[in-house]
Chain A
Amino acid sequence: MATITPALETHGHEHEHAHGHHEQTFIQKYVFSTDHKVIGIQFLITTLLMLMVGGALALAVRWQLAFPWENMPIVGKLFGVFQGEGGQISPEFYTMLFTMHASVMIFLVIIPVLAGAFGNFLIPLQIGADDMAFPVLNMLSYWFMWPAIFCFGYSFIAGGATAGPANGWTSYPVLSDIASASPSSGEAQTWWLFGLTLVGVSSMMGSVNYMTTIINMRAPGMTLFRMPLTIWSMFITAILQAFALPVLTAAGFMLVFDRLHTLIPTSIHSVFFVPAGLVVNNAAPTVGGGQPLLWQHLFWFYSHPAVYIMLLPAMGMVSDMLACMCRKPVFGYKPMVYSMAAIAGLGFIVWGHHMFTSGMNPALGMTFMTSTMMIALPSAIKVFNWIGTIWDGDIQFNAVFLNCAAFVALFIVGGLSGIFMAAVPVDIYFHDTYFIVAHFHYVLFGATLFGVFAGVQFWFPKMFGRQMHDGVQKVHFVLTFIGMNGTFFPMHLLGIAGMPRRYADPYLHGYLEHLLPMNQFMTISAIIMGFAQFLLLGNFFYSMFYGKKVGRNPWGANGLEWSAPSPPGHGNFDVPPVCYRGPYEYSGPESEALGQDFILQTTAPPAGVKVASAHH
C-alpha cells in the first residue's frame, strides 16, 4: 500500500507487490483492484460504453428533429413497448431523451473519462509514483460510479414509463422542484439528483487523491516545472473540482430536501427554491419564500468550472501528444501552465454568463460579461502555443496527431462562438437557441472528445502492451470529423435563425419550417458519426488481444511513463525513476548526442552536452 512519504523515500524501499510475485485473486486483480492502472482502465471501458449509451440517446433526439413524430426505425418498437404508443417519440419522451443524453455525456462520460480514466492511469506513471496516495479511496471512486449509473438508470423507470427525468441537465426549479409541475418531476427527478450526488462523491474522492499524489509522490528530480502539462492540467482540474463541487452538492441536497416528500410523504419538505403563491397545474398555491434563481447561481457556480473540468485535462494531454508527434518541445510551457491556472481562477467568476436573460441585476450582467471575455484570453494563448508547437515540427501524421490537430481546429470554433455569447446583448438573442448547442458541442465534442480519441490511442500501448491499428483510427477520425462538423456546424445557423433548443417540434412555428431539410442533413451526419464509433470500440477491443505487441516506448516519447514496462506491473517501475529534465526535450542537443530525437526524462545527461536550461 502506498503511503504519503516524501517522493525520495517512496522509492527507497522495496515494493513487495511489485512484479506480480504476490498471488492475487481474479477479483482483487481486475474487479476490486486498488491498482491505479486497473482503475483507470475500468473507468475508460465504462465511459466508452456510456459514450455509446449517450450517443444512442442523441440519435433518438436527432431522429425526432429530422423526422418529427415519425416512427423510429428498429429501436422505435422497443421504446414503443416502454411507452405503449408505437414507435413514435412523445414530447414527454423527447424531453427525457435530451435530458438524459446530456446527463450521461457530462456526468458518466466526459468528466469520468478525463479525470477518472486518464487521471488515474497517468498521474502515478507520469510523476514516477508506484500508485496513488490513497489506493482504496481510488477504488471507491470507481465503484461509486455504479450506484450513480444505477440511480440515473432507475430514474428512467422510477416514475413510470413516460415520466423519466426530463427537466434538462440543468434541472432548473421550479419545474424540477414541484412534483405537479411535470410527470418527470416526480420520483424520477429525485433519483436523478441522487445519481448526480453520487457522481460528485466519486469525483471528490478522485480529486483529493490526485492533489495529494501530485504534491507528495513525485519522483526525485520531478520538480513542479518538470511536470508534463497533463499532470498540471489534472492538478488544476482537481483543485477546481474540490472547490466547486461542494456548492453543487449543497444545492443538490437543498433540491432533494425540497422534493423528498415525493418519495417519502412524511419526510422533510423545504422550499428553498419555491416562492409563495404559484399555481402549478391547478394544484393548491404554493407556500414558502424560496428563490428559483438561487439554484441557477449555485448550479452554475459549479457547472461553469465544471465545463473546464471537462476540458483542461484534454488540453494537457493534447499538449503532451502534440509535442511527441511533432518531435518538438511544447511552445511556451510556462505560459501554458499559467493560462490553465488563469482559466481555473477566472472560471470561478464567470458563472453568471449562463444567466444573462434570467432576470438577475443588469449590473451583474456587465461584470460577468467582462470576466467572461477575459477567460477567452488564456484560451487564445493556448491555441497560439499549440500552433507554435506544431510549427516547423517533424510531424508524424498518425491518427494521434490528426485527432490532436482536430482538437485545436475545433476548439477555435468553440472558443470563438463563446465570444458572441459572452456579449450580453447578442446573447439575449442567442440564449437557449441552437447557437448555444453548437458552442458547447464544439468544445466538448470537438475539443475534449477528439483529445480523448487521441489519448486512447497514444497511451494504449502503455495500458495493454499492444498498439491500436492506426489505419482504422484514421478512418474513424475522418468519419467522425466530417460527421461532427456536418452535425454541429449548421447548429450555428439554426441558432442565428432563432431556433430554440429543447423543442420537441420546432416546425410548429412557421418561421422555422424551412429548416427541416437542414436538420435532416444534420441527422444523417450524426448517424454516420455515431456508427463510426464502432470502429473505435472494435479497434480498442480487438487490439487489446490481437494488436501489434510493442515495447516500453513505441512513440519515442519522453515522459516517465515510457520508461516503465508496457504494461507496467503492480508498483509500476522496475527501475525507480529519477527525473533529469523537463518532459519536452525532443530534438534537442541532448537527444542528438544520443543519436535520436527524444530523450527520456529518466535518461541521465549524456556526457559532454552543455544543456542550456535557461530557456524557460
Chain B
Amino acid sequence: MKKFWALFFWFWPLVALYVCLIAPGNNWWFPSKPLSTMGHQIDGLFYLILIIVTVTFVGTEFALGYALWMGATKEPGRRAWFSHGSHKLEVVWTIVPAFVLVFISLTQLDVLADIRVLARFPESVKEAPVAEVMARQFEWRIRYPKPGTELMTSPQPGDLYFVNEVHVPATVPTMINLRTQDVQHAFFVPRLRVKQDAVPGLIIPVWFEIEEAGEYELLCAELCGWGHYKMKARIIADSPEGVSAYLTRLEREQNEDGVQEAETASVK
C-alpha cells in the first residue's frame, strides 16, 4: 500500500502532462494561431515560460514522488535520515531559480513596452486612431470620424456610428481609442491576444496589427453586470480600401435614413 501512494504521486503529474500534450490536438488550446504581430511575440513568450515551467514541474513532482518512494521502500527498523538541512543546497536552490526568474522578467520587457508604452507605438498610428470603441452595458458602440477627417475626442456632427462591429484595416498597424460610457469593461480579442480594460473617465489607446483579413470575435473581459457574457461583437479586418468602402457605405446609409441625429443624441 505504501508503494501505491508513492506511485499515486508519480502518476498524476503524468496524467496532467499527457492531458497537456493531447490538448492542442483536441482543440483544447489557443483558439487559433496568433493573428496579430504582437500575438506572435506573446505566444513566443508563453511557450518559453511553458518550457521552463514544464521542466520544473516534472523535476519537482518527480523528486517529490521519489522521496515518497524512498519512504515506501525503507527497510523496517532503519531510522529516518537525521538532517537539519544543507547550506550548500539552500544556496543552490536560491540562486538558480533567481536567475531563471530574472531571465524570464527580462525577456518580457521589450514586448510589454511595445504593447503599452505610448512612445513606442508605431509612428503611423500614434496620432491617428481609426475609431472610438465605446463600451456600455451590454454592447460596443463604434464611432468613426467622417471619411477624410480625424477622430476627435468628443463626437462630431459628421461622425459615423455602428454597434458591435469594428471595421479596421488589416496588415497595417491600427489604433483605436477605448472608452466606456458607464462601468468598467475590457476589450478582449482572443485571436489577436489583445486585452485592455475600459476605465470610466479615461480614454485608452490600443494598437494592434492584424495579419490577415477576416473576422475576429470581440468580447468583454471585465465583469460589468449580469449581461457581461453577452457583449458579443466582431472585429472585421479588411484591406484599407475595403474599410474606406465600408465607411462610405455607412455614411450614405446614415445620411439617408436619418439615424445620425438619433445616434449622436443618445451618445452625448
Contacts and interface: CB of A to CB of B under 8 A. Distances in A.
A167 B230 CA distance: 16
B250 interface: no
Given A95-B226, A174-B182, A388-B89, A489 B19 contact: yes
Contact of B68 (A330, A369, A385, A405): A405
B98 interface: yes
B32 to A, nearest CB: 8
Given A425-B115, A500-B221, A274 B200 contact: yes
A64 B186 CA distance: 23
A291 B13 CA distance: 45
User: Interface residue tally of chain A, by bracket?
Assistant: 35 or more
B188 A329 contact: no
B30 A423 contact: no
A409 B5 CA distance: 13
Nearest to B228: A502
Given A489-B16, A511-B217, A429 B42 contact: yes
Contact of A392 (B2, B27, B80): B80
B42 to A, nearest CB: 5
B28 A493 contact: yes
Interface stretch (A175-183, A201-209, A557-565): A175-183
Interface in A336-368: 357-359, 362-363, 365-366
B49 A505 contact: no
Given A278-B200, A432-B221, A402 B5 contact: yes
B152 interface: no
B262 interface: no
A368 to B, nearest CB: 11
A397 interface: yes
A511 B184 contact: no
Interface string A490-520: 1011101110101111101111001100100
B31 interface: yes
Contacts of A172: 184, 222-223
Contact of A293 (B20, B78, B199): B199
A174 B200 contact: yes
Contact of B223 (A167, A331, A332): A167
Contacts of A420: 46, 49-50, 53
B81 A280 contact: no
A347 to B, nearest CB: 16
Contacts of A610: none
Nearest to B218: A509
Contacts of A281: 137, 182
A377 B92 CA distance: 12
Given A397-B72, A408-B64, A500-B188, A329 B84 contact: yes
A492 to B, nearest CB: 8
B156 interface: no
B101 A376 contact: yes
Interface in A265-283: 274-281
B1 A397 contact: yes
A174 B112 contact: no
B201 A498 contact: no
Contacts of B190: 429, 498, 511
A380 B93 contact: yes
A493 B188 contact: no
Contact of B45 (A167, A384, A423): A423
A275 to B, nearest CB: 3
Nearest to A370: B105
B85 A428 contact: no
Contacts of A424: 108, 112
B89 A181 contact: no
Given A292-B201, A391-B67, A328 B83 contact: yes
B28 A588 contact: no
Contacts of B230: 91, 505, 508
Contact of B182 (A181, A328, A505, A518): A181
Contacts of A515: 28
Interface size class of B (residues with CB under 8 A): 35 or more
A376 B102 CA distance: 11
B260 interface: no
A181 B183 contact: yes
Q: Count chain A CB atoms within 10 A of each CB in B42, B70, B115, B225 and give the residue with the most.
A: B225
Interface string A394-436: 1101000010010011001100110110011110110111000
Contacts of B33: none
A497 B101 CA distance: 26
A440 to B, nearest CB: 16
B60 A175 contact: no
Most B CB within 10 A of own CB, among A90, A419, A494, A597:
A419
Given A95-B225, A509-B217, A393 B84 contact: no
B176 interface: no
A345 to B, nearest CB: 16
B163 interface: no
Contacts of B89: 332, 384, 388
B112 A369 contact: yes
Contacts of B108: 369, 423-426
A352 to B, nearest CB: 13
Nearest to A180: B182
Given A326-B80, A419-B53, A506 B229 contact: yes
A182 B200 contact: no
Contacts of B38: 425
Interface in B66-84: 67-68, 70-72, 74, 78-84
B175 interface: no
B41 interface: yes
A426 B46 contact: yes
Nearest to A375: B101
B116 A331 contact: no
B219 interface: yes
Contacts of B90: 332, 335, 381, 385
B80 A586 contact: yes
Contacts of B225: 95, 175, 181-182
A395 B81 CA distance: 11
A587 B82 contact: yes
A503 B94 contact: no
B139 to A, nearest CB: 13
Among B15, B109, B112, find the residue whose CB has the most chain A CB atoms closer than 10 A: B112
Given A175-B183, A175-B223, A393 B101 contact: no
A246 interface: no
Given A373-B105, A428-B42, A416 B94 contact: no
B57 interface: yes
Interface in A18-42: none
Residue among B19, B52, B116, B137 with the highest chain A CB neighbour number at 10 A: B116
A391 B223 contact: no
Contacts of A506: 229
A493 B29 contact: yes
A594 to B, nearest CB: 13
A47 to B, nearest CB: 27
Interface centre among B93, B194, B227 (most CB of A within 10 A): B93
Contacts of B93: 380-381, 384
6 contacts: A175-B183, A397-B1, A420-B46, A492-B20, A496-B29, A497-B30
Of all A-B residue pairs in the complex, the 8 with the closest CB atoms, nearest first, are: A395-B71, A275-B201, A498-B190, A332-B85, A362-B116, A392-B81, A503-B229, A390-B67
